[in-house]
Chain A
Amino acid sequence: MNITTMAEQEILLMKGNEAVAHAAIRCGCDGYFGYPITPQSEILETLAAEKPWETTGMVVLQAESEVASINMLYGGGGAGKRVMTSSSSPGVALMQEGLAYMAGAEIPGLIVNVQRGGPGLGTIQPSQGDYFQATRGGGNGDYYLIVLAPSSVQEMADFVDLSFELAFKYRIPVMMLSDGVIGQVMEKVILPPFKPRRTEEEILHQCPWATTGRRGGHPINVITSLELQPEAMEKHNIHLQAKYDEIRKNEVRVEETLIEDAEYLIVAFGSAARIAQKSIDDLRAQGIRVGLLRPITLWPFPYNRIRELSASMKGILTFEINAGQMVEDVRLAVEGRTPVCHYGKMGGIVPTPDEVCQQLISNFNIK
């Protein structure tokens, strides 16, 4: 929808899912492959309505399944193209084999997961139950994805380009871990400026590893995750681990709110961080000094920052819309320096800000 205001940039009102689709077209995405599933079907619908193949030349394809989508990503990314797919929890579960292959073969690509309740087919309502799946991987072997957790429609738009930049910088699949709240909510958004798709020559120059058809006297490039010699596979793994260390060093992102004088800390990501934001406003109004730390990257996780903060906190509440997944990482960071507890709901039930306030007060016996 095109709503213009007095501002220089056009401020639009749209769903998080729609913002992802528009941002993809604008940031030079070469191809989208996906299969419809609630609560993210607007991504494919918006792309189909916008017909970017007529403007930027971006390919939009409804694949026959999620397994097909992720393998199309393997092919497109292997050729140096900026390619993406999107799905929701059970659909992303189907993609795990392909993700491990992409990680092993060092193929860049963007996977958007708009989470819903699980396990299995679960419900269609919002959830954050795929934290483990995203940060630990459902695929095999020693690999990680970079995982970004948008908490607004604006970040749904902004993180698309960021994901592609990171994916190509490190030759790694990047996941945007969103959920049904951020996918379905309509908020104000300013879309990123248009940037053209990369030309074949630019890809040839920027991605010397890509399977571009040996034009320009290129050596033979092989994209594979298979290696029959264990010594060679070990060497490849050591290389991957060094890359992951580099990412841990460079790419941790957090947002901190009212931390300076805080006695208590809430750690929350994505939509839960938005709910917690209102909770801390309400708690502060009651005179309780509480701050919010929002991991923006779930992998790499902000262990060091949480460790630093834990020394001065009387208690830390991890709030997630699941049974307690990120809380394990928070505990690893805190190492027993201060009490850590979890609050969350499962199956598609979204807690309200009041419930989070009550949990903080009751867990830490705040008078």
Chain B
Amino acid sequence: MTQEIIIAGFGGQGVLSMGKILAYSALMEGKEVSWMPAYGPEQRGGTANVTVIVSDQRISSPIVSTFDTAIILNQPSLDKFESKVKTGGTLIYDGYGISIPPLRKDINIYEINAMDAAADMGNPKGFNMIVLGSLLGLHPIVQIENVLKALRKTLPARHHDLIPANEEALRRGMQLIAK
């Protein structure tokens, strides 16, 4: 099985980090993985996106034409990537700041309110982990245990005290999508 995923939003939302944690988690499971950022002059407030591919087989191209799953965190990204989701694929978007919702009928669309959930939890920085949790709630590409392992590996030791809050955010995201 191969999952070709685009994660797109504003710079500063943790788009690239979310992709990186997903990629490391897949590595933990022994899967093939590629993480390809759009590394333009992105900055806080600008647009940022990353293509993550997770597969049981060798990955040919890190650049793909269409995606199985799009995770969309702002309007410009929705405008750009809605048409790039494969028929029958999945589009998950955060409703915050979206004025024109997605219109396609041939894909599965899920709106989450991760921004609100992060605010409710008093953990605004947990936003991207809530979004990642939503993805995993829908498509268990990797096990949450492996995400936690990946966090332990990628976060500097001084930030390991944040891992429980991240776990909580992941689980909250899984609940959001289950509703």
A, B co-complexed: yes
Assembled-state Cα–Cα distance A11/B41 (Å): 31
B154: chain A residues at CB < 8 Å are 1
Interface centre among B23, B61, B66 (most CB of A within 10 A): B61
A350: chain B residues at CB < 8 Å are 63
Assembled-state Cα–Cα distance A13/B153 (Å): 11
Residue A274 at the B interface, CB < 8 A? yes
B134: chain A residues at CB < 8 Å are none
Assembled-state Cα–Cα distance A277/B63 (Å): 11
A13 lies within 8 A of B64 (CB): no
Q: Knowing A2-B153, A185-B36, say if A352 contacts B23 (CB, 8 Å).
A: no
B81: chain A residues at CB < 8 Å are none
Residue A125 at the B interface, CB < 8 A? yes
> Between A and B, how many residue pairs show CB distances below 8 Å?
76
Q: Which of B56-74 contact A (CB under 8 A)?
A: 59-66
B34: chain A residues at CB < 8 Å are 185-187
The 0/1 profile, CB within 8 Å of A marked 1, for residues 23-45 of chain B is 11001101011111101110000
Assembled-state Cα–Cα distance A125/B61 (Å): 17
B35: chain A residues at CB < 8 Å are 13, 185-187
B60 lies within 8 A of A274 (CB): yes
A1: chain B residues at CB < 8 Å are 24, 153-154
Assembled-state Cα–Cα distance A353/B63 (Å): 8
B61: chain A residues at CB < 8 Å are 274-275, 277-278, 353
How many A residues touch B, CB cutoff 8 Å? 29
A271: chain B residues at CB < 8 Å are 62-63
Write the nearest CB–CB distance from B84 to chain A, whole angstroms.
9
A11: chain B residues at CB < 8 Å are 27
Classify chain B's interface size: 20 to 34
Which secondary structure dominates where chain A touches chain B?
A: mixed
A274 lies within 8 A of B27 (CB): no
Assembled-state Cα–Cα distance A1/B65 (Å): 29
Q: Which of A1-30 contact B (CB under 8 A)?
A: 1-3, 5-6, 11, 13
A184 lies within 8 A of B37 (CB): yes
Residue A97 at the B interface, CB < 8 A? no
The 0/1 profile, CB within 8 Å of A marked 1, for residues 4-35 of chain B is 00000000000000001001100110101111
Q: Knowing A274-B61, A278-B64, A353-B63, say if A184 contacts B39 (CB, 8 Å).
A: yes
Interface centre among B23, B30, B59, B65 (most CB of A within 10 A): B65
Could you name 14 residue pairs across A and B whose Cβ atoms are closer than 8 Å? A1-B24, A3-B24, A13-B33, A39-B39, A181-B36, A185-B36, A186-B36, A187-B34, A187-B62, A188-B33, A281-B60, A352-B65, A353-B60, A353-B65
A-B CB proximity, top 10 nearest? A354-B65, A277-B60, A352-B65, A278-B61, A186-B35, A278-B60, A275-B61, A185-B36, A185-B62, A274-B61
